[in-house]
Structure 1
């Protein structure tokens, strides 16, 4: 019985990973295409307005959720009262946060004097809080069941229609930074409808405190961790928005998001599958160790290889995806490329800690990281540092945080930590390999003055080939098993006679 249950869990996890990574790659393709269009429709100043408004919108999301979504995924036994309590609290907090954002918008605008036209954008983003209340519960129930197909459909549909058609259409019509508000609201409405249709969870409120106690016991701690992560992840945006120009903030945030959005989607695709899987085997140390180490090795190889390719391809990425207005951001793109692998691998270790309820240690690490990063960014600013220097500080701090979470992971899974260190070391070797292979192909093409669109397409094809090679020829992993299984399935279909 136990073996059958574990086998079923593995099958559901693998299936969930397929849907999750399908969402990631399909979303990445749309992001690259839409980003290239949007960067030519909006100015750096407008992206600066969006950066501050989006920061505040994400802040409100923490209040709306209060860790309830994570608690629903992690809770061993979930009752209908838990679902009712989760929905009631999310809806109430969403209404409260929306009202608070509307009232505080003028004060927020005054605090960021270099960011123009901030009030209507902040108030527009605040409407997403109410819509998120339903998305949180429906999405968490699907994650708990490892049923990612409805989530993938909702995410891709909302992004294609809400952002690709409605949002970009608004930008084309001259709505400026408000076009991103329109995009966010449209995406939230579409996701809400599709996700609730897939779960049809109860909407009946509940007002007994005992129904909330179990969720908030875990949720409040999870929120504290997420809030610290939010603050530390946005300290650079906060400092640049306060002390630098809106154009500098726009260039910084747009360059970062061009890399961070795909990387965040990659990390999210990983964590939303691994969190319920880790939680399911949290009492089986051997299975937990194997799951974590296998995932760490595969992710390290994949993400470090991609980083090596991005480091070399940065000039073309900026020129094509961001346009000629952002050419001076090429060094920023290369610096941010070094941030990505440590952010993704830290996420995996943090998910392990969360799934095994080690939230106190996450709070400690994030607190130290936030204070250290904030102090380093402030000192860099006071010494006259440019935004590129702030980006370097961010990379250095991320390396230290990744090392701290690796130590935590070793304590959870046991052992000497050698295999964790080896995974990072192997990733570094693949990083150098990816960079060398890319440089060997790209530098001669640049010298031959190959047209930019052609060169960019060749770089994409080369990057895809390199990543496919490291997955298919690299060490054993779930990704490798999935890739070979997909190839076998394609060969079987190709061999079948057409009717």
Structure 2
């Protein structure tokens, strides 16, 4: 099979794994949210922060090092494998000893046992880092998908059963623990590679020297990505953490499946046109317009109908999560454009520029958090500060990409605002229709009909004012 066919085959299976896993998780999440309580998901949100950072430490960037090295052999694989196991045990011991202090920090004594038990996933996952790297290196995404989906499905059944048996937060912990177990088990049953009793210090040092830099970056990214859960758990309530994490789940579903797929096109597209300045600018504006024309109305609809969506998905007890979803959905529009711009700059620009943008991103985000805590703002104002931070991120990267592509500074902002206004006006029509023309007694059908009305207005506006974007989108889908 040619590399091109391998890449296409891999893309299809990767997308199947991503979409299939997300769809299963989404529906399971709905069932669990209706059975459990926001506080349970708040506890999980806090625990998951520590597990995420721990897994970054254990993997240590060495998985990436294995994938990128051309002439890997059994000595490479086995050396990294045993290193991962030893590091995972060490990290687990640290978390085991630190658990009581973390419990004291959040004033939740039950955190100690929960964190110690949940952290076993760190050791379990260390047993499959190398197998997963080998499969990725060989572009064998089909096998990974056929192992990942059953792992999610089987563990989800256990989680749902335990939730109905009133195990509370433990049903979530057991679900994720068994998911890690099945993921590891399937790798050992169906992966062709098994470790040999070999440990080469020189090879370990080679992979570690490459990986530790990535690890530092990933730890900073993990802390930044999870900083809001950490702050909410300490200065607000665990219930707020639960509202935040569940709202984030709803918001990320369209972002992951639309932008997640589109982002895979960026490297081949922009790498081909990067030497032709005029074509590069034209391609960038076309891709940005296509992205905005799809993602903006969906996230705007989620924001305006946040209460109806939350109640429909999670039941009335989650109603107070509506403001969380509102702010996160609006912020998501700015975040998608920010990610798109940084991806483009990483392809056509230099790494120093990306580093500068990322530093500015993290600094201004922390400034907003510190100001909110100093002023002791309510949770609503804190959520508003999250939106403001996303807007500032967008403006920062917009400044740099305008400068790099030599586009007038306000041209891209006008392009962005155009689709934001189209989306806002269309969703406003949906909202008016929903509140004044309730022909059907079933709320979800009213919601669907309102979305359809808003979509018609949106397509009409875009067709009238920006017809070319629709033709570009159709052309892209055909290809």
Q: Classify the TM-score, shorter chain.
A: 0.7 to 0.9
Aligned-partner SS, 1:77: coil
Give the counterpart of 1:455 among 427, 446, 461. 446
Deviations 1:42-82 (A, max 9, x none): 12222221111111111111111112233334x25241244
Residues 1:129 and 2:122 are matched in the alignment: yes
Aligned-partner SS, 1:188: helix
- Work out the CA distance in 2 between the residues paired with 1:405 and 1:14: 31
Q: Is 1:231 matched up with 2:223?
A: yes
The correspondence of residues 232-247 of structure 1 with structure 2, limited to 5 A, is 232-247=224-239
In 1, Cα distance between equivalents of 2:383 and 2:167 = 30
State the Cα distance separating 1:110 from its structure 2 match: 0.6
- Find 2:434's aligned residue among 445, 453, 473: 445
Distance in 2 (CA, whole Å) between partners of 1:466 and 1:175 is 47
If the length of structure 1 is used for normalisation, what is the TM-score? 0.79
Q: Which of 356-365 and 230-239 deviates more?
A: 356-365
1:372 is aligned, of 364, 374, 381, to: 364
Higher mean C-alpha displacement, 42-51 vs 370-379: 370-379
Partner of 1:102: 96
Query: 1 CA distance for matches of 2:61 and 2:104?
Result: 31
In 1, distance between residues paired with 2:453 and 2:203? 54
1:92-241 to structure 2, matched below 5 A, reads 92-113=86-107, 115=108, 117-163=110-156, 165-195=157-187, 199-204=191-196, 206-241=198-233
RMSD: 4.0
1:213 Cα deviation (Å)? Answer: 3.8
Q: Which residue of 2 aligns with 1:54?
A: 48
Change (3 A) 1:465 1:191: farther
Say if 1:231 and 1:370, in contact at 8 Å, map to a contact too: no
TM-score by length of 2: 0.82
Residue 26 (structure 1) shift: 3.5
Q: 2:406: which partner in 1?
A: 416
Point out the more displaced range, 399-408 or 285-294: 285-294
More off after superposition, 282-291 vs 362-371: 282-291
| Structure 1 residues 157 and 262: alpha-carbon distance in aligned structure 2, compared to 1, 3 A threshold | farther
Who is 1:494 aligned against? none
Q: Which residue does 1:88 correspond to in 2?
A: 82
> CA-to-partner distance for each residue in 1:354-377, whole Å, 9 max, x for gaps?
779966655544444333322321
1:390 deviates by 1.8
- Is the 8 Å Cα contact of residues 255 and 329 (structure 1) preserved in structure 2? yes
Please say if residues 310 and 334 of structure 1, whose CA atoms lie closer than 8 Å, have aligned partners that are also in contact: yes
Q: After superposing the two structures, state which structure 1 stretch, 455-464 or 437-446, moved more.
A: 455-464
